[in-house]
Amino acid sequence: MIDPSWVSGLAAILFGIGLIGTFSRKNGIVVLMCIELMLNAANLNFVAGALNTGGVEGWVYTAVAIAIAAAEVAIGLAILLSLYSTQETISLDEAVMLKN
């Protein structure tokens, strides 16, 4: 079996990539994908924790966290769509009507 610390190490790398991506990318959809990476990093950590403790709790947390991530995407795409329908862009640095 894979050592759980490898799993949490991979999770840390994924989280880092996601976090850097959310700050450096301007396209709304790509930012949404980066947020998904961050959430999946948390999922991997839950899996590693489940392997550590041997209980069923961690697996349940993982399943519910996947549901949270799915809801997040559904809402995110809908909100980005409403931005696109009014301003015809999903680039986050072009949406600048709300300044003062």
Q: Which residues contribute to the site for other proteins (CB under 8 A)? A: 8, 11, 15, 18-19, 22, 28, 31-32, 35, 38-39, 41-43, 45-46, 48-49, 52-53, 57-58, 61, 64-65, 68, 71-72, 75-76, 78-80, 82-87, 92, 95, 97-98, 100
- In the complex, the smallest distance separating the C-beta of residue 20 from other proteins, rounded to whole angstroms, is 12
Please name the residue that has the structure tokens 């990093």.
41
Q: How far apart are CA 41 and CA 27, in angstroms?
A: 21
- In the complex, the smallest distance separating the C-beta of residue 58 from other proteins, rounded to whole angstroms, is 7
- Cα of first residue to Cα of last residue in the chain, in angstroms, is 56
- In the complex, the smallest distance separating the C-beta of residue 22 from other proteins, rounded to whole angstroms, is 5
| CB within 8 Å of 59: residues ≥ 6 apart | 46, 47, 50
